[in-house]
Structures are given as structure tokens and as C-alpha cells.
Amino acid sequence: MAAVVSARSAAVERIRARLDHPVIDSDGHLIEFLPAVRARLRELAGERAVQGLDTILGAARLVRQLDAVQQRTLGAIRVPWWGLPARNTLDRATAMLPRLLYERLDALGIDFAVLYPTYGLFAMSIADEEVRRASCRAFNEVAAEACAGLRDRLSPVAIVPMHTPAEGIAELDHAVTDLGMRAVLVAGAIARPLPIANPPRAARWIDTLGLDSAHDYDPFWRRCEELGVAPTFHSSGMGWDGRASPTNYVHNHLGNFALAGEATCRSLFLAGVPWRFPRLRFAFLEGGVGWARDLYAGLIGHWEKRGREHIAHYDPAALDRPRLGELFDRYAPELFRRHRAGLDESLQVLSDPTEDRARIDEFASCGIARPEDIREIFTERFFFGCEADDPINASAFDVRQNPLGARLRAIFSSDIGHWDVPDMSEVLCEAFELVEDGLLDERDFRDFTFANPTALWAGRDDRFFAGTAVEAAVRHSLAAQRAAAPA
């Protein structure tokens, strides 16, 4: 192994010498060894399930055989292709072989890595329930076994399908209680067929588990809270409106994780999920933090204009009709005067007095009483996965521009194993460039690579990191965060 695993580069050594804390990578990737997954899936559900999984994994090849009309009808898009390391053979092997990654962590400058699936990401969206659930379980069992004996520095992530709360709870329990997995990936956006006869595959709506969902997912969130795990989301928005090109993957990929993360985050917030489950923390991965700043600022702005205490400003009943009539008669041009009798009717578009007043408080489910409540959720309960080379990462810590001086919880998420990272050995250096460029200070970088991941994964206790190489540092960090928290 010593002949394969290189020592730390001078650049990584220089950075690590400046840090007084471990580096936690909250979103690396394993490239699963499919023969092992197929063998486990065959044991769990038989050959039909294996064929079903292979159909999904081979979808890109099938799509290439369709013409443009067939692709549009089926909702088929240009999906990821050439998405894994090839020229960099060591990195490809590293993503496939957990023990090799374990041996290389020091050279990468990473102390602890949370590892998400690659092929397993497709399993959550399989339409056939039996194949979907069995595939997710097979991926989970293989990942847990592949990382056995390495858990002090590697944490494999369990895949949790969410077409119904019951299937989510079943796999959550198996992964956490039976397999001992501590991190879970929740399917945060479910494409459901429209309620029409024989809908084409393209005729789907996106259920984001909160507002207007097809199911009540509170039992699932409650079970997460009981087990002490943080729901994390790594959903894709490829194939949604505006990202459904059948010819261009780049078109579909740009901003897709931000789109999906924003949709789920907004849905959970407006449905009041963070308010009803105050011990839960949620992470939205790989989409960066720019969308979170926009959503956070937008929610404050909308609450201040359309919250229950403010919406009355636009109540049609508050309009002074005689005064408006006087102003109309004084200032209206002749063209308008000829239609004076229709004035009352013209006032009702976008200002309908018959609107159901029981529904006018659209923040009613949130548990929000003031803007500071929104800030608390976005700075204490929500976490945002940011790749190392994203220059927008610094904006999470910009208290001058973020409303109410918020420091959003950006977390270092390398994405090693995928095409975003041509060379694993450079991820720490890329992340640290924001410090070297003066956009972050070293306190910000500590939060980004250690304190924020600690707060996400450890939650209210440090069981997540029990027995790991960073356990002592995490315990010290949590104690400091609790001491600094307002009473």
C-alpha cells in the first residue's frame, strides 16, 4: 500500500499546519462494486429485481436508441455520461475501494469522510416498489459491509426510499438499528404520475415531502428524531421543467442540485416540519449555498409583506371605494371615463373579495412569529453542502449582506469520486483558496470544515462520532457550541 498511497503534498501539509482542528468531509462518494450489489439484490428479491435495477442503470444506453419525439413523450433526458474518473486511475480505484480511500485520507488532508452512494442514487427513483426497496437495501448492506473495520474514519450513508412514509421508516430502521449506519440519504423529491388515466411518463408532478404532499411524512420525521439521525437530501432536479434537454447533459446538470434542494427545503419549511420536530437537523447537499441565501432572504421578505400580521394591507375590504372613485373621476383619461360603470368589476382581478379567509395565512403551519424565527431555522437547523471549488461558499458567512446578520451553515462536501473532482489530492487546497484570497478567515474555514459538520452529524449528542478518530475533538467542539448558545 505504501507504494500506491502518496504522502501529503507540500500544499496540503502547509494548510494542515495552519489548522487547529480536524477536517470533516460531509459528502464524498463511493462508486459501488455492482457485481456485489447484484448478488445481494438477487438474494433479497430474485432475478427480476436485478433486471429492474439494471434497466435503470442502463437507461442512458436505451435512450440513445429513441428519436426526439419518443424521448419527449417518455420524459427521457440526457443523463450523466463519462461522469467518473478514468485518466486518474488511482482516484477511480480509491472511490471503488473503501480501504484504499481510508489509507489515502491523510494524504488528502481529510480526517473523517461521510460517503454517499453513486449508482445507488438511481435506486431511490425506481417506480416498481419491490425493486426499489430491495435495491436500496442491497446497496445499504453492501456499503455497510464494505466499510466494516473502517468506521473510525469512514461513514457510509444509507439510502432511504420515500415513496411512502412506511417504506422510508422500514429502511431507516434496518439501516440504523441493524446495520449500524449513522448517516442517511432521504429521497427528497418524488416524481409522481398525474392523476389521469394512463399518464405518459413525462406527465409527473414533484412531491417534496412537506407542503401539499401526497402523504403525511410526520411519522418518518418522528422516527428520525427518535433514532437521532439527520435527514439529508441529495436529490436531482434534472428532468424538471427547464432541465429536460434530450441532447445536452450540461444544460440539465447546471443548478439541478440547488433546484431540488431549494424545493425540498422550501416545502419542509412552509409545512412546518422544522418547527414540529425541533431536534432534527436537515442537510441539502451538493447544491451550494447561493440558493439558500436567496430562499432565506425571500422568506423574510414574504413574511414581512404576506405574513398574517401584514396581509391585511392588501385586503380588498380595506379599499376606500368612494375615495378611489373621486380620484378616478379627477384623473382618468376619457377612454377610461367611457367605461366608468365597470370600475368595481375591474378592481377584483388579483384583489378578489371572495377569497377564502381561512386560507389567507400561508405561514400558518410554519410556527413563525417573527423574522428571527426564520433566521434560527436557517442558521441552526438547515445545513448546506458546498463543493470545494465553489466561490459562492464565502457568502454563507457574510453577516453584512445576509439578513439579520445570519451565518448560514455551509459544510465542506468534496464530491470526491465524481467528475467534479479531477484530482482528489487537490480538494482541501481548493477549499482553502477562499482563505488565501481573503474571502474567508480561519474561523470561517473552521466552521466550514469542522464545526458545522459537527453540529449537523452529532446533533444534540456525540454518538455519531463515538469511536471515531475525531471523537475527542468533536466532544470539545460541541461543548464549546453549547456554551456559546443563548440560554
- The grid coordinates of residue 3 equal 507504494
- The pLDDT mean for the chain works out to 93
At 263-306, the pLDDT tens digits run 999 999 999 999 999 999 999 999 999 999 999 999 999 999 99
Confidence of residue 483 (pLDDT cuts 50, 70, 90): confident
Q: Is the pLDDT of residue 2 over 50?
A: no
Question: Where do the domains of the chain lie?
Answer: 20-305+368-484, 311-359
pLDDT digits (tens, 9 = 90+) for 35-89: 999 999 999 999 999 999 999 998 878 888 888 788 877 778 888 889 999 999 9
In angstroms, the Cα distances linking 192 to 69, 126, 273 are 22, 11, 21
Percent of the chain with pLDDT over 90: 84
- Which of the listed ranges 65-74, 212-221, 236-245 does the model predict with the highest average pLDDT? 212-221
- Give the per-residue pLDDT at 487: 60
Q: What's the CATH architecture for 20-305+368-484? A: Alpha-Beta Barrel (3.20)
For 24, 287, 386, 437, the CA distances from 111, given in Å and listed in that order, are 6, 23, 18, 24
206 pairs with which residues across the strands?
Answer: 191
Q: What Cα–Cα distance (Å) separates residue 274 from each residue in 266, 277, 319, 382, 386?
A: 11, 5, 37, 9, 22
User: Looking at residue 1, what is its pLDDT?
Assistant: 42
pLDDT of residue 21: 97
Burial of 423 (0-12, 13-18, 19+ CB in 10 A): middle
Which of 446, 477, 485, 449 has its CA nearest to residue 461? 477
With contact defined as beta carbons under 8 Å apart, do 317 and 287 qualify?
no
User: Could you tell me the three cell numbers for 455?
Assistant: 453540529
Query: What global pTM score does this model have?
Result: 0.94
Kindly report which listed range (20-29, 57-66, 376-385, 452-461) carries the lowest average pLDDT score: 57-66
Residue 459: per-residue pLDDT:
81
Query: 420-453, pLDDT tens digit by residue?
Result: 999 999 999 999 999 999 999 999 999 999 999 9
pLDDT score for 155: 98
Written as nine digits, the cell of 297 is 432572504
- Name the nearest CA neighbour of 16 among 119, 84, 110: 110
Is 15 a residue whose pLDDT tops 60? yes
Q: Are the CB atoms for 261 and 236 separated by under 8 Å?
A: no
Identity at 144, one-letter amino acid code: A
pLDDT given for residue 448 in this prediction: 98
Whether the CB-CB separation of 41 and 140 falls below 8 Å is answered with no
> What's the whole-number mean pLDDT along residues 362-378?
95
Among 403, 385, 456, CA closest to 296: 403
Q: What is the pLDDT of residue 460?
A: 65
Contacts for 184 with CB less than 8 Å, ≥ 6 apart: 157, 158, 159, 160, 172, 175, 176, 224, 229, 230, 231, 232
